[in-house]
Amino acid sequence: MKNKLPNMSDTICAICTPPGIGSIAVIRLSGVDSHKITKIVFQPHSQSESFIDRKATFGNILRANKVIDQCLCIFFYSPGSLTGEDVVEIQTHGGPIVPNLVLKSLTDNGARIAEPGEFTYRSFINGKIDLLKAEAISSLIKSHSESAAKCSIDQLSGSLTKKLNKLRDLVIFLLAQFEAMVDFPEENIPEPTKKAILSDFNLSIQHSESILNTYESGRLYMEGLQVLIMGQPNVGKSTLMNRMLDEDRSIVSNIPGTTRDILDADIFIDGVRCNFFDTAGLRDSKDPIENIGIKKAFSKIDASDLILLLLDKDSDYDYLNRIIKDVPRGKILHLINKSDLMKEDNKWGIIEQLEDKGLKYIEISAKKGKNLDLIRKKILEIKNMDTKVDFEEGVLTTERQVEHLKKGLKNLKNGKQLFIEDKPIEIITIEIREYLNRIGEITGETTNEEVYDALFSKFCIGK
């Protein structure tokens, strides 16, 4: 939204369906005058059956008293609507002309065009959804994989909200115990009570950390795996990329340094989105353009979830090891390419080097397609995505959620330490209240206009 606080008294309208040629288009209105405006521009064929809550009415849509289309009109009365306000949905024929003529007719009679995300914003403000559900709607619309859509749908059911509410209730009970002590400051806290309070602190911290640990799975399923293909020139990186994609995306040649920029493309493995990156061959080069590509490859290492390190009999593992020495072993999958050229009685030196270091590897042939299915299986296995995540239990899916919970957890741990040190109760309760505020920031119960503006502006107009 352009404005942090849009005028909630306005009646807004927008086309909800994608632009272009289609059989139907849906135009939505929301606001106090939505029914009044619709009755001006819509002429039902049967007066006896018109304007009934949640019942489709057939009729003509007008502009300047001229029929511009035949359509269906559905009225939703407040508060039982998408936004909690009076809402109307008009279903017209699709295409670029008719829906926009309907929109002009609505604005001619007092409605205004909605800002991006304003319908969802009104749903949130009117208590129809919380901030977590709003984020789930945004994520569902942008989903690129079955797993991401499944995660968003389960978030829409309120699974994470329920989990956070249980945690909040536990901490509120903890706070209540301290508030009771404030009323009787002269009394010493009995030892059993101290143990019980410390137990409540530990339980709250444990549950918070458990929820925090769900983010890695949530992020990977929502955004997909970032898989980096690395290796020295002519080791077969571009061939592997093309075979994994089953299309010729990367240029393949015997000339070292052919790939100079990073090429990326998506594939889906068992419904999980995997974004593959083909990088420039790693070597000491005097070519400034090639060196830019090599630097780009280095820069992608930290942001990647997995590195496919492609090797052949001529690979210089000592050189490569200097590059990846700080990368966790669990983030690297070693692949021995061109294994179809290996003789059974002649083990390559690169394999002996890996075995001496206790490193596992897969022998493949990108050219022949050998063991590519094993690579796909291993990618999911390494990231623990071969086991299904129960999204119905609730998982964190955004950095915003993580940051608030991390800060709240720090407050909770501070409160626990202050309690152990017998610090004044008033100071302890400040930390506990700050934790509860952080939970409120996640669900949207605590007002933060900048967060709302940033979130809802990412929606399309009409949502």
Angstrom distance (rounded) from CA 108 to CA 330: 62
pLDDT tier, 261 (very low <50, low <70, confident <90, very high otherwise): very low
Q: What is the reported pLDDT for 91?
A: 95
User: Is the separation of the CB atoms in 391 and 219 below 8 Å?
Assistant: no
Query: Tokens 């605590």 appear where?
Result: 446
Confidence at residue 39, expressed as pLDDT on a 0 to 100 scale: 93
pLDDT of 263: 73
pLDDT of residue 411: 96
If residue 214 lies in a helix (H) or strand (E), which one and from where to where? none
pLDDT value of residue 449: 62
* Mean pLDDT value of segment 278-284: 70
Which two structure tokens, joined as six digits, stand for 25?
Answer: 């288009």
In 3-state terms, what secondary structure has residue 15? strand
Query: Band of the pLDDT at 207, cuts 50, 70, 90?
Result: very high
Angle at 375 between CA 371 and CA 377, to 5 degrees: 110
The residues pairing with 267 across neighbouring beta strands, listed in sequence order, are 274
Q: What percent of the chain has pLDDT over 70?
A: 78
* pLDDT for 250 beyond 90: no
- pLDDT tens for each residue of 211-226: 998 887 777 777 778 8
Residue 209 pLDDT: 93
pLDDT by residue (tens digit) across 102-139? 999 999 999 999 988 888 888 888 888 877 777 777 66
Helix H or strand E encompassing 223: helix 215-223
Question: To the nearest 10°, the Cα dihedral for 93, 94, 95, 101?
Answer: 60
CB-based contact 451:5 (threshold 8 Å): no
Cα–Cα distance measured from residue 32 to residue 426, given in angstroms and rounded to the nearest whole number: 46
C-alpha torsion 19→22→26→27, nearest 10: 50
pLDDT at 120: 85
Confidence of residue 291 (pLDDT cuts 50, 70, 90): low
For residue 181, what pLDDT band results from cuts at 50, 70 and 90?
A: confident
Residue 308 bridge partners (DSSP): 229, 333
At 392, is the pLDDT very low, low, confident or very high (cuts 50, 70, 90)?
low
**What's the CA gap between 127 and 7, in Å, rounded?**
17
User: Model confidence over 151-167: pLDDT tens digits?
Assistant: 666 666 677 888 898 99
Q: Which residue has the higher pLDDT, 61 or 262?
A: 61
More confident: 177 or 29:
29
Residue 88 three-state SS: strand
3-35 in b/e form (b: 16+ CB < 10 A) is: eeebeeebbbbbbbbeeeeeeebbbbbbbebbb
For residue 15, what pLDDT band results from cuts at 50, 70 and 90?
A: very high
Q: What is the pLDDT of residue 257?
A: 45
Query: Residue 41: what pLDDT?
Result: 94
Among 299, 250, 315, CA closest to 276: 250
Tokens at residue 353, please? Answer: 């080097």
pLDDT in tens, 395-444: 788 888 899 999 999 999 999 999 999 888 889 999 999 999 999 988 87
Q: How confident is the model at residue 326 (pLDDT cuts 50, 70, 90)?
A: confident
Domains of the chain in sequence order: 12-130 (3.30.1360.120), 145-214+394-444 (1.20.120.430), 222-382 (3.40.50.300)
**389 — pLDDT class (breaks 50, 70, 90):** low
Name the burial class of residue 42, with classes exposed (0-12), middle (13-18) and buried (19+) by CB atoms within 10 angstroms of its CB: buried
Mean pLDDT confidence for 69-96: 93
Report the phi/psi class of residue 141: left, alpha or beta, with left for phi > 0 and alpha for psi in -120 to 50. alpha
At residue 34, the pLDDT reads: 94
Mean pLDDT, to the nearest integer, of 439-453? 71
Evaluate whether 397 touches 140 at the Cβ level (below 8 Å).
no
Phi (first) and psi of residue 286, to 5 degrees: -95, -5
